[in-house]
A and B are shown apart, each in its own frame.
Chain A
Amino acid sequence: GDSVTQMEGPVTLSEEAFLTINCTYTATGYPSLFWYVQYPGEGLQLLLKATKADDKGSNKGFEATYRKETTSFHLEKGSVQVSDSAVYFCALRLSGSARQLTFGSGTQLTVLP
């Protein structure tokens, strides 16, 4: 079945550090890939997405590139801020289907001032 594997957290960084959160996937077809973010006390919200190989999703300084050859969708940000502290979820969905999003287990990020 479809699955998403994320690097285990928690990840703790200092402000302005470089961030990478690894995500790899297994899918039976050609999925769309997503990063969702969950800020403390809130529900998840879509951060960025990519729908085909070599697409780059970007938002709020975060980027992720759909790499079909390595089945990966790693999240990166060049300079993190304290306000980026949250749990980050990688997810996939087979395009055009009514199937639900499949989420990874989440990675807790804490950014210290």
Chain B
Amino acid sequence: EDKVVQSPLSLVVHEGDTVTLNCSYEVTNFRSLLWYKQEKKAPTFLFMLTSSGIEKKSGRLSSILDKKELFSILNITATQTGDSAVYLCAVEGGSNAGNNRKLIWGLGTSLAVNP
């Protein structure tokens, strides 16, 4: 059965700390892995990763994928209170034909950044 597992489930840090969030997956016919940030409402897109070893970076956030070990990490450096959110990982798998394409979501990591 396809699954996406995120760890830790929740995390509390102080401003300025660096955090690493993990996403491991077992998905048939992997196509891509995505990271989203969800605050109070809809998730907002962060990164899409398709190739191993290529770091994607946006400001203080960065992410990398390891397709051999089937996991991705999301790093946040110099955390700020505005980084407090649930971080969601999703993996697309399945073939493109018919009704086999699917997006499997992890439960998310809840990050709280205290001042």
Please indicate whether A and B come from the same complex rather than being unrelated chains: no
Interface residues of A, Cβ cutoff 8 Å to B: none
